[in-house]
Amino acid sequence: MLNFSYKNPTKLVFGKDTISSLGSNIKSDSIDKVLLLYGKGSIFKNGVYDLVTESLKNNNIEFIELSGVKPNPVLSKVKEGIDIVKNNNLKAIIAVGGGSVIDSAKAISAGSCYEGNVWDLFEGNGKLTKALPIFTVLTLSATGSEMNCGGVITNEDEGKKWSFGSPLLYPRVSILDPSIQSTLPTKQTVNGAVDTITHVFEAYFGGTKNTDMVDELSEGIIRTVIKHSKILINDSNNYNSRCELSFAATLALNGLNGLGRLGDWSSHSIEHSLSVLNDISHGAGLAIIMPAWMKYVYKEDICKFAKMGRNIFNINECDDEKAALSAIEALKNYYKEIGAPTTLKEVGVSFKDLDFVADNAAMSAPLGTFKKLNREDIYKILQIAFE
Amino acid sequence: MLNFSYKNPTKLVFGKDTISSLGSNIKSDSIDKVLLLYGKGSIFKNGVYDLVTESLKNNNIEFIELSGVKPNPVLSKVKEGIDIVKNNNLKAIIAVGGGSVIDSAKAISAGSCYEGNVWDLFEGNGKLTKALPIFTVLTLSATGSEMNCGGVITNEDEGKKWSFGSPLLYPRVSILDPSIQSTLPTKQTVNGAVDTITHVFEAYFGGTKNTDMVDELSEGIIRTVIKHSKILINDSNNYNSRCELSFAATLALNGLNGLGRLGDWSSHSIEHSLSVLNDISHGAGLAIIMPAWMKYVYKEDICKFAKMGRNIFNINECDDEKAALSAIEALKNYYKEIGAPTTLKEVGVSFKDLDFVADNAAMSAPLGTFKKLNREDIYKILQIAFE
């Protein structure tokens, strides 16, 4: 296990009928004027918009709205938000939505307190010394952004989907009422499950030995996601399963699962480049990329993949390599069972596009820690993922 | 799963050679004069005293020492600490030791900012509105006090060993270097393992259904503790196992394992009364009491005990009741294997003492949530625990 330092100050408010506590949580921080950020119209259909605005009004909190955050959130919308915040002297950002809205809120929070171009922070230039408080109401469990301090934004002009982070960007309070996710399209529940599992595996295969306690947490999160995602694709209203899936998604990326190990994150990098190409949803892209990555790298640590097979997929096989290969197959089969895509071909990527994706991902090469990947490796993984 | 609200602001600094960061962590909070609290002499033998004081001096932090905190920490020492803090206008408490020192630090922190008698806060009278910052250097992983906001103190005059807590009492920073625990007597490592396991079970059998994700965390913590405590009783210097056991102990009671469920805590209450009688170490008392509690209550939810057997002790038994009983037996056998006592007789309690313990515990009756216990139930559990 590696040395680590961990501090996560986000207050997580979890459960049914908790959204109405938003206003009082903001008010107790003496904040009276905020940006209310959301995506498309789903929060009007599921009643969340009404709950949020009523709670703000009840606590005399003024708000200016900015809607239209896209699933792969873009820099231009972030800049629009920063302008509104600065022009109106707003004191906090309220993100109502999934990871794309929360990530945008983080970038707006940072950019509103940063003198230069907010993209500097993604490029590793510029230093963030303060940020506006962020409050979130989560409507789709997937990215874990509700309880961490990072985010991913696409710079449309430069064709870069990059991440950034700062301890200043932990949400002050995140409200997670799993019951409101019962109206999600199945596809989004599935994508959330895949995203969660991939977050866990990025750390699990993080190239660090002797990590029993976090491995236990990792395996437990994934078993929970597998069990309850299978229930939810047939019974979207199952509140218990919504709770389990939501809580698992938050735990997958609130930092705990990464403690004491390096993390790999090359599947995420490759997927980000894939979504620059065709705006594929993040979860769908990960369902395709990560099993291909696994097939390409498993020989670096066959034992760990065999452990994954035995502990997560109940594979009863003494030979480590057979167990490892069966584990990867079991993951793909589970993705197929819940309706996630498992090949690039299925989502409309053509073979000649692989070069673009490999070039884009190789901008940050070498990727990963489990096996360091250069452009050639990335291309081979994309070939495996193709069909 | 029940609704919950969770916020844990403690910064955990974990790993080898991290103690020297104490001073800079305190200094960054602009604190220059502190109480340095510890127990007996062990921190002189293992070098921790030198590391701590050197780090304080290097950062120009003045300190006044108070030593002699006992394993079952007492109110008189807490009051001594409060007087020193008030008379010298100290700005923070530095706890160097195990749970007893950290719990005392919490009580001193609270009492230094509270006008009345600090014991009011244990009795549920009086309201804490501020507290002094607490920094800890953990030397014995067991109670989890390094990353939570509660504590237990014995009021010697009134014969009460009671708990208290406040969100104001989370340590600001806790430093956990597992390598310094290699010189612990085996008995203390064993007691720490038992304490950790009991914390987990108190929540696991918390009388709440549909808690898959936290059950996974619970079972993972206990499997980790069992595996690595067995290694450590033969190889006290094993750094990896020290890391796993330490990290597991922190996770067992930093709040996560209790999320979404009620918790029972009657074994802890009964043990506290036992230690009022004969100053038994907390872990040893729990190793005796909890399996007896399990035998007395398992019929309330046989399935949950069968789950414990199958998932933690690998019990391959279809019949739920047989699996449940085997699970309790397996826990006792594990305690015997690592050298923990499993009967009251072994630790010098006589049969006639059971009345005193039952009376003392019944002061807070009814205990628990899994099965509500009154004096008669408590006495029966003590009878089971006797031999």
Tens of pLDDT, residues A184-195: 999 999 999 999
Return the percentage of chain B with pLDDT > 90, whole number.
94
A301-338 pLDDT per residue, tens: 999 999 999 999 999 999 999 999 999 999 999 999 99
Q: Which of B213, B240, B256 sits opposite A244 (nearest CB)?
A: B213
Q: Which of B7, B12, B220 sits opposite A217 (nearest CB)?
A: B220
| Residue B5 within any structural domain of the chain | no
Q: For the segment A234-263, what is each residue's pLDDT rounded down to a tens digit?
A: 999 999 999 999 999 999 999 999 999 999
Same-domain check for residues B172 and B226: no
Answer with the one of B148, B179, B210 that is the final residue of a domain. Answer: B179
Q: Is the pLDDT of residue B279 over 80?
A: no
pLDDT tens across B365-387, in order? Answer: 999 999 999 999 999 999 999 99
Contacts of A220 in chain B (CB under 8 A): 213, 216-217, 219-220
Of B145, B179, B213, which residue is a domain's last? Answer: B179
Give yes or no for residue B145 having a pLDDT over 90.
Answer: yes
Instruction: pLDDT band for B45, please (50, 70, 90 cuts).
Output: very high
Residues 6+ apart with CB under 8 A from B269: B361, B364, B367, B368
Residue A279 has pLDDT above 80, yes or no: no
**Residue A207 in this model has a pLDDT that exceeds 90:** no
Is any Cβ of chain A less than 8 angstroms from the Cβ of B260? yes
- Please check whether residues A196 and A94 belong to one and the same domain: no
Taking contacts as CB-CB distances below 8 angstroms, the residues of chain A near B141 are none
Q: How many folded domains does chain B comprise? A: 2
* pLDDT recorded at residue B280: 87
CB contact (8 A) between residue A5 and residue B11 = yes
Q: pLDDT band at residue A278, thresholds of 50, 70 and 90?
A: confident
- Do residues A22 and A160 share a domain? yes
Quick check: is A1 in a domain? Answer: no
The answer to whether residue B71 is domain-embedded is yes
Helices (H), ranges, chain B: 22-27, 42-45, 48-58, 75-88, 99-112, 119-123, 186-204, 212-232, 239-252, 266-278, 282-297, 302-312, 320-338, 353-362, 375-386
| Residues A210 and A96 grouped into a single domain | no
Q: Is B6 a domain residue? A: no
Tell which of A208, A212, A221, A231 to mutate to test the B interface (max B CBs under 10 Å).
A212
- Kindly state whether residue B1 falls inside one of the protein's structural domains: no
Q: How confident is the model at residue A136 (pLDDT cuts 50, 70, 90)?
A: very high
Nearest-by-Cβ selection for A220 from B13, B217, B240: B217
Average pLDDT of the segment spanning B8-21: 98
Q: pLDDT at position A161, please?
A: 87
pLDDT higher than threshold 90 for residue B118: yes
DSSP assignment string, B189-233: HHHHHHHHHHHHHHHHTSS-S--HHHHHHHHHHHHHHHHHHHHHT
ipTM: 0.96
Q: Which residues of B touch A219 (CB under 8 A)?
A: 216, 220
Give the number of other Cβ atoms within 10 Å of residue A350's Cβ. 10
Which residues in chain B are contacts of A9 at CB distance < 8 A? 7, 9
How many Å from the N-terminal Cα to the C-terminal Cα in chain B? 37
Same structural domain, A362 and A213 = yes
Does B10 lie at the interface with A, CB-CB under 8 angstroms?
A: yes
- Rounded-to-integer distance, Cα A19 and Cα A174, Å: 10
Are the beta carbons of B11 and A16 separated by less than 8 Å?
Answer: no
Nearest-neighbour CA in chain B from A256: distance (Å): 10
Residue A72: band (very low, low, confident or very high) from pLDDT cuts 50, 70, 90:
confident
We report the CATH number of the domain holding residue B118 as: 3.40.50.1970
A148 and A222 co-located in one domain: no
Helix, strand, or coil (residue B58): helix
B384 HSE (CA, 13 A, CB side): 18
In a domain, B117, yes or no: yes
Q: For the residues A5-26, what does the mean pLDDT come to? A: 98
Structure confidence at residue B363 (pLDDT): 92
Identify from B29, B212, B214 which residue to disrupt to test chain A contact, counting A C-beta atoms within 10 A and taking the largest count.
B212
Give the residue-averaged pLDDT of B91-107: 98
B259 touches chain A (CB under 8 A): yes
- A1: nearest CB among B10, B213, B240: B240
Q: How far apart are CA A233 and CA B274, in angstroms?
A: 51
Do A19 and A72 lie in one domain? The reply is yes
Shared domain for B128 and B33, answered yes or no, is yes
Question: Between B9, B14, B216, which is nearest A9 by CB?
Answer: B9
Q: Which of B116-125, B190-199, B272-281 has the lowest mean pLDDT?
A: B272-281
Given phi > 0 = left and psi -120 to 50 = alpha, else beta, which region is A30? left
Mean pLDDT of chain B: 96
Domain of A308, CATH number, reads: 1.20.1090.10
For residues A264 and A320, membership in a common domain is answered with yes
pLDDT of residue B373: 98
Work out the pLDDT band at B278, boundaries 50, 70, 90.
confident
Q: Are residues A171 and A198 in the same domain?
A: no
Closest CA to B189 of B197, B331, B162: B197
Indicate whether B175 and B192 sit together in one domain. no
What's the confidence (pLDDT) of residue A340? 97
Count of A-B CB contacts under 8 Å = 111
Question: Does residue A4 fall inside a structural domain?
Answer: no
pLDDT single digits (tens) B220-273: 999 999 999 999 999 999 999 999 999 999 999 999 999 999 999 999 999 999
Chain A contact for B167, CB < 8 A?
no
For residue A314, give how far its alpha carbon lies from the nearest alpha carbon of chain B (Å): 13
- Whole-number pLDDT of residue A387: 92
Domain boundary among B114, B144, B179: B179
Helix (H) or strand (E) segment spanning residue B152: strand B150-155
Of A4, A14, A224, the CB nearest to B3: A14
Digit-coded pLDDT (tens) for A143-152: 999 999 999 9
Chain A hits for B210, Cβ within 8 Å: 240, 243-244
End-to-end CA distance of chain A: 37
Q: Regarding beta strands B173-176 and B134-138, do their DSSP bridges make them parallel or antiparallel, or are they unpaired?
A: parallel
Separation in Å, CA of A165 to nearest CA in chain B = 18
What pLDDT sits at residue B40?
Answer: 87
Domain that holds residue A135: 11-179
Same domain, A270 and A348: yes
* CA distances to A286, A315, B316 from A309, in Å: 19, 5, 20
| Bridge-based pairing state of the strands B92-97 and B134-138 | parallel
In a domain, residue A343? The reply is yes
